[in-house]
């Protein structure tokens, strides 16, 4: 059973994020995204999500127009977002994806407009090398690749060329069939190995060590119980020696556990996962409602930094 294997594997205590415990400490550094430097040691960084898609599970269709997307970015920045993540292709379970031309047409105009207006690093959420390249050319600073360089490894070359930040996430497959591929030999060990391989590829291609972030991929090829285990044993991912980002915000596993299909019923569950994630090692949280989660993050950071 996956549950038994995973539980046996991670019985040792998980240290708090601010404890100085050898390798764990190296997870926290001055992150470098092109001309940006961000210190994620003193506080948790918040990545705000803007989906310029008609079909994303949370905000599909709301920000497909440039003006509405810019207005939402303005709100997220005002609410305390440190990074804005812009995506033009839904990666919800079962989604089939879009063409290169369609994704470029959605994302690039928003990035062009946002770079001129906002003084925050912009991330492009894509698995396509061409989209990543054009987004960086227009001023984006980070590539957020849900495939962990598996779909188009060339993304690592592009990140290196532009000296950009790179988020490598774990998934078992493409969104359309990933939820049919949830079998692991050992959940935590398998995901750690996959992320280590992604990090190794990125560094081999020349991506700066302090420009790489790992994301275990909540909701991507994981069952409800596997997502819960991933959060419980998140501290194990410190062995990769990279900052950990989590994207639990409003995910279906929260709704499944609460037995509700309504998005509004996932707010408190999201807050709980964000708090536990930070306590277990996350130093970046990717969220939809920045205003609410900023409060959660601030309290958890205050607890961790209390002497």
Active-site residues, by number, are 251, 286
231 closest CA partner among 211, 242, 243, 215:
215
d(CA 122, CA 195): 23
Sign of the Cα torsion 26, 155, 172, 227 reads positive
The first and second tokens of residue 283, run together, are 């130093």
Where do we find the tokens 């970015």? Answer: 73
Separation between Cα atoms, residue 51 and residue 120, nearest integer Å: 17
If you count them, how many residues does the chain have? 307
CA 270/CA 247 separation, integer angstroms? 10
Taking the C-alpha atoms of residue 239 and residue 48, their distance in angstroms, rounded to an integer, is: 27
Cα separation of 47 and 304, whole Å?
20
d(CA 116, CA 89): 23
Which DSSP category does 172 fall into? S
Q: Classify burial at 262, counting beta carbons within 10 Å of its beta carbon; exposed 0-12, middle 13-18, buried 19 or more.
A: exposed
**Cα–Cα dist 118/25, whole Å:** 32
Judged by DSSP in three states, 214 sits in strand
């Amino acid at each position: 059973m996956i549950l038994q294997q995973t539980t046996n594997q991670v019985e040792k205590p998980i240290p708090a994020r601010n404890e100085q415990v050898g390798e764990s400490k190296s997870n926290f550094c001055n992150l470098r995204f092109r001309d940006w430097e961000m210190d994620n040691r003193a506080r948790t960084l918040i990545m705000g999500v803007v989906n310029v898609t008609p079909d994303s599970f949370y905000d599909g269709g709301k920000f497909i127009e440039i003006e509405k997307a810019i207005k939402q970015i303005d709100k997220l920045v005002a609410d305390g977002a440190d990074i804005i993540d812009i995506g033009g292709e839904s990666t919800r379970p079962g989604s089939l994806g879009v063409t290169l031309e369609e994704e470029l047409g959605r994302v690039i105009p928003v990035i062009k407009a946002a770079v001129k207006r906002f003084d925050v690093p912009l991330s492009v959420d894509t698995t396509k090398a061409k989209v990543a390249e054009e987004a960086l050319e227009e001023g984006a600073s980070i590539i957020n690749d849900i495939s962990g360089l598996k779909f188009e490894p060339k993304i690592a070359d592009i990140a290196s060329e532009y000296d950009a930040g790179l988020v490598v996430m774990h998934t078992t497959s493409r969104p359309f069939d990933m939820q049919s591929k949830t079998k692991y030999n050992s959940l935590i060990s398998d995901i750690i190995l996959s992320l280590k391989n992604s990090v190794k590829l990125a560094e081999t291609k020349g991506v700066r060590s302090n420009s790489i972030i790992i994301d275990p991929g909540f909701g991507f090829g994981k069952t409800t119980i596997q997502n819960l285990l991933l959060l419980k044993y998140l501290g194990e991912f410190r062995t990769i020696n990279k900052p950990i980002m989590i994207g639990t915000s409003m995910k279906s596993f929260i709704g499944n556990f609460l037995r509700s299909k309504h998005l509004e019923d996932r707010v408190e569950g999201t807050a709980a996962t964000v708090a536990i994630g930070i306590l277990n090692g996350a130093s970046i949280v990717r969220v939809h409602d920045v205003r609410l989660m900023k409060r959660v993050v601030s309290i958890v950071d205050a607890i961790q930094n209390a002497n």
